[in-house]
Chain A
């Protein structure tokens, strides 16, 4: 893992987690031994081995290009934290300037 607090802060930023300083310190101390453990994989010879993303041989599944019912607007908006005019309302994304 990140060998200093700054690196963990950067990972947290990439993960969009607004961690407190206390959390950063705790996670740092807990993740260090976990990373040390997963580092044991470096002792295994993987030369020429293909990576596996998936346990079963299923690739490029196609389906017929036909319409089927989806969720209604009302069903989607029922869970939206905020909505207006049949749409999900979100904080401003683009600055006016």
Chain B
């Protein structure tokens, strides 16, 4: 395993140089990407040129990073896994996280596959290619940041960025056996991230270690005037969280997250991770989050509603696909969208348009916004009793590729453990806590999730680091 910190040490000591590091990863991509499908495009020539001029004095000097294909980087494609943007769109600007990575000296290596417009939890909704789980190619890598997770797990990249609207960083990280973190809402600028559900979306790191997650989070965090929802709050030094004692911390285990539907193997491994914290002096507390099930229904009203509005920009006029079969302006919108969007995106646009339509708005959208308030209040009460919350990241291991096509609701329901953190804006991380038997001869990674109060990203990293090191 090569981590960011190992690569940085090797560059600093002169054991390797940036062009060799890039060339080594490119060779791995050429050998593996065809079978894994994690990357949609490479940036080889520019990456090698940038590596030759790497400034090793910078925090990520000479270190290659992969971006999910919904984060704009000047001059590169940004397909969002969609036919709509497959051609006819080259990013004319840098997202704020991209600018920050460049300023930190990072090299942009390639673009990771994803569910179309980040809608999905298997990366099967990408219109541009299939990504498989590096641990078992018959299984999904998770999603929507499945490419970002698989590229790190298969060691074609040291680290990547993804986006998380309802678990899209944490769930693929769990399925691929790596670390994935969704920062507190407002911690990281969303400027230049192609919007799915703006009140839920957050960019975050996917890495081999908690230390690497802290390193990347440090670089991408901070207030940005270009994103009015980014918070003007001081960013702590996240490296101080690593290795810090968890003695005396109260860790809540919500009973709704250890209930029916949870795979017994996963439960065993997650409870073992909790026990390791207890051995280090943390106190485990059973807590109650009765609105956990309601979170899924709330999410599948609010996220599609925001998506239907955000995706109205894809109309075939200014960029991306324009239908050649249209008769007039309205027909241009209708046909460009019909030809450009895949089934899951259409499903969610229809759902979102419906819940926002006259006569249904209050019954669905306003009610869901009120339940969202109750969910936030429920977490606030929980955090009056405990410092952080520990749960499984997913109720089950990664399923086989292709089995959910006819019944999207089953995949939606599997998001139950990750969605609440987005609704409440909480920081949350998934890290590996062991492996389970798939039942057909392969070993599958299992993830444990830590959530903490808003803006306590440091505490999430502290507890994750304690689990990782034990």
- Report how far A78 CA is from B93 CA in the complex, Å: 12
The answer to whether A15 touches B353 (Cβ under 8 A) is yes
Which residues of the partner chain B approach A42 to less than 8 Å between Cβ atoms?
Answer: 363, 367
A65 at the interface (CB under 8 A from B): no
Q: Which of A44, A49, A58 contacts B186 (CB 8 A)?
A: A58
List 12 A–B pairs whose Cβ atoms lie within 8 Å, in order of A's numbering: A14-B357, A26-B343, A33-B407, A35-B351, A37-B412, A37-B413, A41-B298, A46-B370, A51-B373, A54-B229, A61-B228, A91-B329
CB atoms of A49 and B425 under 8 A apart? no
Chain A residue contacts of B409, Cβ below 8 A: 30, 33-34, 37
* B338 contacts across to A, CB distance below 8 A: 17-19
A25 at the interface (CB under 8 A from B): no
Which A residues touch B425, using CB under 8 A? 55-56
Residues in chain B near residue A12, CB distance under 8 A: 350
Judged by a CB distance under 8 angstroms, whether A6 is at the interface is no
The smallest beta-carbon distance between B130 and chain A, in angstroms, is 21
CB neighbours (8 Å) of B312 from chain A are 16
Q: Mark A10-28, 1 if CB is under 8 A from B, else 0.
A: 0110111111000100110
Q: Could you list 6 further interchain pairs (A-B, Cβ under 8 angstroms) beyond the known A15-B349, A46-B371?
A: A18-B331, A23-B346, A33-B407, A50-B373, A71-B92, A79-B88
| CB proximity to A under 8 Å, residues B220-247 | 225, 228-229, 231
| B138 → chain A closest CB, angstroms | 25
Residues of B within 8 A of A84 (CB): none
Which chain A residue shows the least CB distance to B314? Answer: A16
- Contact between chains at A11 and B354 (CB < 8 Å): yes
A38 touches B332 (CB 8 A): no
Provide the bound-state CA to CA distance between A92 and B409, in Å. 41
Interface mask (B302-330 → A, CB under 8 Å = 1, otherwise 0): 00000010001001111111100010111
* Closest CB pairs A-B (n = 8): A55-B425, A51-B369, A81-B322, A79-B319, A18-B334, A46-B370, A61-B228, A18-B338
Write the nearest CB–CB distance from B341 to chain A, whole angstroms.
Answer: 7
Give chain A's interface residue range (CB within 8 Å of chain B): 35 or more
Contact with B along A60-91 (1 / 0, CB 8 A): 01010000000100011011111000001011
- Contacts A31-B347, A58-B231, A79-B320 given; indicate if A16 touches B333 (C-beta within 8 A): yes
B319 close to A27 (CB less than 8 A):
no
Total number of residue pairs linking A and B with CB closer than 8 Å: 174
Q: Which residues of B contact A90 (CB under 8 A)?
A: 317, 329, 332
A70 CA to B425 CA in the complex, in Å?
31
Is A55 a contact partner of B346 (Cβ separation < 8 A)?
A: no
How far does the alpha carbon of A93 sit from the alpha carbon of B333 in the complex, in Å? 12
Inter-chain CA distance A81–B316, complex, in Å, is: 7
Check B424 against A11 for contact (C-beta < 8 Å): no
- Distance of A38 Cα from B354 Cα, bound (Å): 12
Q: How far is the CA of A35 from the CA of B423 in the complex (A)?
A: 19
Are the CB atoms of A38 and B364 closer together than 8 Å?
yes
B364 to chain A, nearest CB (A): 7
Q: Which residues on the A side are within 8 Å of B371 (C-beta)?
A: 41, 44, 46, 49
Neighbouring B residues of A41 by C-beta, 8 Å: 294, 297-298, 301, 364, 367-368, 371
Chain A hits for B350, CB < 8 A: 8, 11-12, 15, 17, 27, 31
Whether B408 and A34, one on each chain, are in contact in the complex, defined by CB atoms closer than 8 angstroms, is yes
A91 to B293, CA, bound (A): 47
B90 CB within 8 Å of chain A: yes
A61-B189 Cα distance, complex, nearest whole Å: 15
Does A4 sit within 8 A of B, measured CB to CB? no
Find the A residue at minimum CB distance from B422.
A55
Closest to A76 in B: B92
Least Cβ distance of B413 to chain A in Å? 8
Q: Least Cβ distance of A32 to chain B in Å?
A: 10
Q: B residues within 8 A CB of A27? A: 346-347, 350
The answer on a CB contact under 8 Å between B353 and A58 is: no
Name which of B351, B357, B454 has the most chain A CB atoms within 10 A of its CB: B351
Q: Is B139 located at the chain interface by the 8 A CB criterion?
A: no
When A30-B408, A81-B322 are in contact, do A16 and B315 touch as well, CB less than 8 Å?
yes
